[in-house]
Amino acid sequence: MNKPLNDNDSASRRQFLKSSAVVMGAVAAPYLLSQREAFAVNSDTLKVGLIGCGGRGSGAASQALAADKNVILTAMGDAFEDRLQSSLKNLQESVGKQVQVTPDHCFLGLDAFHKVIKEVDVVILTTPPGFRPAHLKAAIAAGKHVFCEKPMAVDAPGLRSVLESAAEAKRKGLALGSGFCWRSNLGERAIMQRIHDGQIGEVRALYNTYNTGPVGGVPVRKPEMTDMQYQLRNWYHFAWLSGDHIVEQAVHSLDKMAWVMKDVPPVRCMAHGGRQARTGDGHIFDHFEVVYDYATGERGFHFSRQQANTASENADYYVGTKGYGKIKAFGALELEGENPWKFKGDRPDMYQVEHNELFASIRSGKPINHGTWMASSTMLAIMGRMAAYTGQIITWDQAMNSQEVLGPTNLDWNTPLSTPKVAIPGVTKFV
């Protein structure tokens, strides 16, 4: 059981929920509107801009164009020309006439996002996560609708910026959709609704795994590369860009844990982690184990690993007073106990559903805003990394108010960047 909350814990959590309420008010039921209903408010052509032209960005752009027949891709931006041109070619071949990106709307460099945002109505943010808070802030300030890939930040100052941007989007009536794709999976929605309705009783424990092999190859550093160029090419292995793999990848599992808990944040967490098998440049860990304590006694257990030649599992288990629920990624969804149930319905592509709903909400004049819960889920991962890196118990209050900024303050191709030391629990300090 949890120890009693102190006044600071209670006040901090209440303040988070209170300050988030303005954003939560914008989160409505899924917008599974028909094409006719979706166009009822505004049938004008929507211009889309892609910022970050890697594999996920190209996929998101394709899904955005499939979501609405009156949408065109008109601008693209990336730090590197080869990525942009490869993405553009693939989209032209796979999508066709909805891709209307001329050479003067292909923007390159660390400031490319400003130029893309200026030209479009809807912005897709799929750069490495370290850039996401600044890009989101600029897009909302410019009055653009946004699809924001997960995670939304890599540190607490970035996360606080995301919450501010989400609140501003609400005030401006702008849509803000997230890349937490499992919330758009109809199977997961069905099982979560049953859990929330009490079909397994009161949830007492939550357990999830995201165990895989290594993600992201390590590129060879060419002699002419600056530190910034190399780290951006190798972004997954630097925490200022990826947040470490618990933040970049395993955050999906933590988002489902948050979903079960109706997005009420935990009180504190304690974690283990390290770098046993990972070699090569960079400094991120290759395994994490985190225990999250909730105010009403529930405990969440998270395990993630990126190690070659090890057993893989991506699953979620929820233990209640009347049974338990199981979710296997892209597999079975079932409840066992007093009220057994198995999902047998259709499962349309969840990546497509999230874009269908985003564009339908824009057309309907009822823009979705995922700001509060997407930020809270991201903080679960950041908080877990903080606890693992330091070896200390980290409270929600500490995590939300952390002053640690992971990235450089001067973003320039010639900014000198050393590789941070691998964190050592008990030595690395919480900031």
**pLDDT greater than 50 at residue 427:** yes
The SS3 call for residue 43 is: coil
Q: Average pLDDT in the 294-312 region? A: 97
Same domain, 176 and 57: yes
As a whole number, the mean pLDDT across the chain is 91
**Sequence-ordered list of residues with C-beta below 8 angstroms from that of 164, at least 6 positions apart, any chain:** 137
- In sequence order, what DSSP letters do the residues of 142-193 get, joined into one string? TT-EEEEPSP--SSHHHHHHHHHHHHHHHHHT--EEE--GGGG-HHHHHHHH
C-alpha separations of 36 from 32, 33, 43, 349, 364 in Å: 12, 8, 10, 21, 10
Same domain, 333 and 364: no
Give the CATH number of the domain where residue 340 resides.
3.30.360.10
> Does residue 183 contact residue 189 with C-beta atoms inside 8 Å?
yes
Is 21 part of a structural domain of the chain?
yes
Is 147 part of a structural domain of the chain?
yes
Rounded CA separation 178/282 (Å): 28
**pLDDT greater than 70 at residue 230:** yes
Same domain, 298 and 318: yes
The SS3 call for residue 115 is: helix
Give the N- to C-terminal CA distance of the chain in Å, as an integer: 28
pLDDT digits (tens, 9 = 90+) for 56-102: 999 999 999 999 999 999 999 999 999 999 999 999 999 999 999 99
Same domain, 188 and 178: no
Is 430 part of a structural domain of the chain?
no
Phi, psi of 252 (to 5 degrees): -60, -45
C-alpha separations of 346 from 185, 350, 423 in Å: 10, 11, 44
Is 11 part of a structural domain of the chain?
no
Is 426 part of a structural domain of the chain?
no
Q: Average pLDDT in the 183-190 region? A: 98
Same domain, 37 and 139: yes
> Does residue 31 contact residue 360 with C-beta atoms inside 8 Å?
yes
Rounded CA separation 109/80 (Å): 7
Domain residue limits at 110: 17-182+352-370
Return the sign of the alpha-carbon dihedral for residues 160, 165, 167, 168.
positive
Is 296 part of a structural domain of the chain?
yes
Query: How high is the pLDDT of residue 82?
Result: 97
Kindly state the helix (H) or strand (E) to which residue 238 belongs, with its residue range. none
Same domain, 129 and 206: no
297 — pLDDT class (breaks 50, 70, 90): very high
16 — pLDDT class (breaks 50, 70, 90): low
Rounded CA separation 246/393 (Å): 17
Query: How high is the pLDDT of residue 42?
Result: 55
Query: How high is the pLDDT of residue 280?
Result: 82
C-alpha separations of 351 from 173, 220, 354 in Å: 24, 32, 6
Query: How high is the pLDDT of residue 24?
Result: 39
- What domain count does the chain have? 2
Same domain, 147 and 29: yes
Q: SS3 string of 199-236?
A: CCCCEEEEEEEEEECCCCCCCCCCCCCCHHHHHHHCHH
pLDDT digits (tens, 9 = 90+) for 314-331: 999 999 999 999 999 999
**pLDDT greater than 80 at residue 9:** no
- State the Cα angle at 155 between 425 and 406, rounded to 5°: 75
Same domain, 312 and 250: yes
Phi, psi of 367 (to 5 degrees): -65, 135
Query: How high is the pLDDT of residue 217?
Result: 78
Query: How high is the pLDDT of residue 209?
Result: 98
Same domain, 317 and 385: yes
Q: Average pLDDT in the 103-107 region? A: 98
Q: Average pLDDT in the 41-60 region? A: 90
Phi, psi of 125 (to 5 degrees): -105, 105
> Does residue 360 contact residue 29 with C-beta atoms inside 8 Å?
no
Q: Average pLDDT in the 96-114 region? A: 97
Query: How high is the pLDDT of residue 300?
Result: 98
Give the CATH number of the domain where residue 51 resides.
3.40.50.720
Query: How high is the pLDDT of residue 2?
Result: 35
Same domain, 167 and 293: no
The answer to pTM > 0.75 is yes
pLDDT digits (tens, 9 = 90+) for 245-289: 999 999 999 999 999 999 999 999 999 999 999 988 899 999 999
Q: What percent of the chain is modeled with pLDDT above 70?
A: 90
